C-alpha cells in the first residue's frame, strides 16, 4: 500500500480536512487510544521472527530541533518477522522557515515542493495511524527521537510514547568495529546495496535491510528479543 496515496485521499489535495475542531478532537481521541495500546504492547520480549517493527527515517532542515530546525519529510516501512513488507509511509511537511541550498542539494527537497506539502500536525497524525503500537527502528535514532519528541509535544501537547530502537546498539552487540558509524558504512559492512540516499523513504528501506542483517547475526548469538538485545548491550 502506498501511504501517500491514502493520505491524499484522507485529507484532500491542497488543503486538509483535519484542522477543524471536530477533526482535532478525533485526532486526540485516537492518540489517547494509541498511547494505551503502546503501554500494553509486549514487543520487548517478543521473538524477532514474530515481531513487527516500523523502520523510520526523518529528513530535517538541520540537527537541532530545540533551536527551531524543522521536519522536512518522514519515511517509514514495516518489517514483519524477517520480511520487509510493501507497507510504506512517505510525506513531505510544510515548514515555517526556508530550506537552505545545502539541505536542498542533499535531500532533493525543494522549497517549491514544501510550499504544497501538508501541515506537520496532519502528517504526524497519519504517521501515528500507520505505525500503530509497533516499536520504531532508526539508524542513530537520537536524531529521529529528538525531532519526534519535540514536534509531537508542540503539535499535540502530549509526550511521544513509542520506543525507538537504535541500530547502533545492535551493531555494538554484534561486535562490529567502531569505525562503522554512518548508514553507508553499516550497509557496506553488511553488503546492503546503497541507493536513494538522503531520501526519507530510501533511507528507511536501507535501514530495514540493515536491520534484517543485524537480526540474522544476533540470532546466531542466541539473541532473539529486544529484551535480550538490551541486556547484552548494558553488560558491555
Q: What are the pLDDT digits (tens) for 25-60? A: 666 665 666 565 555 456 778 999 999 999 999 999
Query: Is-above-0.95 flag for pTM?
Result: no
The answer to whether 168 and 140 are in contact (CB under 8 A) is: yes
Decide if 145 contacts 114 (C-beta within 8 A): no
Looking up cell 485526532 gives 27
Residue 18, all three cell numbers: 483535519
Which residues make Cβ contacts (< 8 Å) with residue 19, sequence separation at least 6?
A: 119, 121, 122
pLDDT tier at 177 (50, 70, 90 boundaries)? confident
- Residue ranges covered by each domain of the chain: 3-166
Query: In a 3-state reduction of DSSP, which class is residue 30?
Result: helix
Helix (H, G, I), strand (E, B) or coil at 11: helix
Architecture of the structural domain at 3-166: 2-Layer Sandwich (3.30)
Amino acid at each position: 500500500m502506498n501511504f501517500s496515496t491514502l493520505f491524499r485521499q484522507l485529507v484532500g489535495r491542497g488543503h486538509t480536512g483535519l484542522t477543524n475542531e471536530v477533526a482535532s478532537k478525533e485526532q486526540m481521541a485516537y492518540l489517547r487510544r494509541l498511547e494505551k495500546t503502546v503501554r500494553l504492547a509486549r514487543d520487548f520480549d517478543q521473538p524477532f521472527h514474530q515481531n513487527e517493527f516500523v523502520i523510520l527515517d526523518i529528513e530535517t532542515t538541520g540537527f537541532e530541533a530545540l533551536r527551531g530546525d524543522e521536519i522536512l519529510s518522514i519515511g517509514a516501512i514495516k518489517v514483519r518477522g524477517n520480511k520487509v513488507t510493501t507497507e510504506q509511509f512517505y510525506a513531505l511537511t510544510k515548514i515555517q522557515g526556508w530550506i537552505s541550498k545545502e539541505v536542498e542539494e542533499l535531500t532533493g527537497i525543494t522549497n517549491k515542493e514544501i510550499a504544497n506539502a501538508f501541515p506537520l500536525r496532519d502528517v504526524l497524525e497519519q504517521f501515528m495511524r500507520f505505525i500503530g503500537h509497533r516499536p520504531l527502528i532508526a539508524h542513530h535514532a537520537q536524531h529521529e527521537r529528538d525531532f519526534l519528541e519535540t514536534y509531537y509535544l508542540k503539535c499535540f501537547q502530549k509526550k511521544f510514547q513509542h520506543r525507538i530502537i537504535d541500530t547502533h546498539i545492535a551493531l555494538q552487540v554484534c561486535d562490529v568495529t567502531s569505525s562503522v558509524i554512518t548508514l553507508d558504512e553499516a550497509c557496506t559492512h553488511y553488503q546492503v546495496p546503497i541507493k536513494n540516499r538522503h531520501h526519507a523513504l530510501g533511507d528507511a528501506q536501507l535501514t530495514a535491510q540493515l536491520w534484517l542483517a543485524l537480526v540474522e547475526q544476533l540470532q546466531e548469538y542466541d539473541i532473539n528479543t529486544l529484551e535480550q538485545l538490551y541486556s547484552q548491550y548494558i553488560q558491555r
